[in-house]
A and B are shown apart, each in its own frame.
Chain A
Amino acid sequence: MAKRPSKMVEEGGGHDLNIDLKPFINFLVVLIPVLMLSAEFAKISIINLKLPEGRGSSTSVKQIVAPPNEDADKLLLTMIVTDSVVTLGAKGGFLPSLFYREFHKYVSREDRSVEVTVEFDPSNPKKQVKNPKSGKPFLINERQEILLYVVDENRKIINCLYTKNGEMLTDGAGNPLKEAKAGDTAFILTNPRRQVIVTDPGQFGLRPLSAYDEMKNRLMKIKQRYADVSDANDIILAADNEVAYDKIVQLMDVARAAEFPNIAISKLRS
Chain B
Amino acid sequence: MAIKRGRNKYTTPKSTGLIITSLIDFFSIVVIYLMKSYSAEGSILTNADNLVLPNSVAITKPKEIFLQVAATTDMVLVDNIPTVPTDDVRRIPQENPDPIVAKLEEKLNASYAQELQMVKLGALNKIQGNVIIQMDKNVEFDVLFKIMNTCGKVGYNNMNFAVMEREQ
**Contact surface of A with B, Cβ cutoff 8 Å:** 18, 21, 24-25, 28-29, 31-32, 35-36, 38-49, 51, 56-60, 140-141, 143, 239-246, 248-250, 252-253, 256-257, 265, 267, 269-270
Contacts and interface: CB of A to CB of B under 8 A. Distances in A.
Give the interface SS of chain A, mostly helix, strand, loop or mixed. Answer: mixed
B140 A60 contact: no
Given A35-B34, A245-B54, A44 B47 contact: yes
B34 A141 contact: no
Contacts of B57: 253, 256-257
A68 to B, nearest CB: 21
A250 B164 CA distance: 12
A242 B164 contact: no
B29 to A, nearest CB: 11
A253 B58 contact: yes
Contacts of A265: 144-145, 148
Interface of B: 17, 20, 23-24, 27-28, 30-31, 34-35, 37-40, 42-43, 45-47, 50, 52-62, 73, 94, 97-98, 132, 135-142, 144-145, 148-149, 152-155, 157-165
Contacts of B30: 32
B161 A47 contact: yes
A83 to B, nearest CB: 10
A84 to B, nearest CB: 15
Contact of A244 (B42, B46, B53, B139): B139
A49 B152 contact: no
Nearest to A125: B140
B141 A35 contact: no
B139 A44 contact: no
B30 to A, nearest CB: 6
Given A60-B154, A249-B56, A140 B138 contact: yes
Contact of B60 (A45, A51, A242, A270): A45
Given A45-B164, A250-B56, 12 more contacts: A25-B24, A28-B31, A35-B38, A40-B39, A44-B47, A44-B163, A44-B164, A45-B58, A51-B159, A56-B152, A241-B145, A245-B140
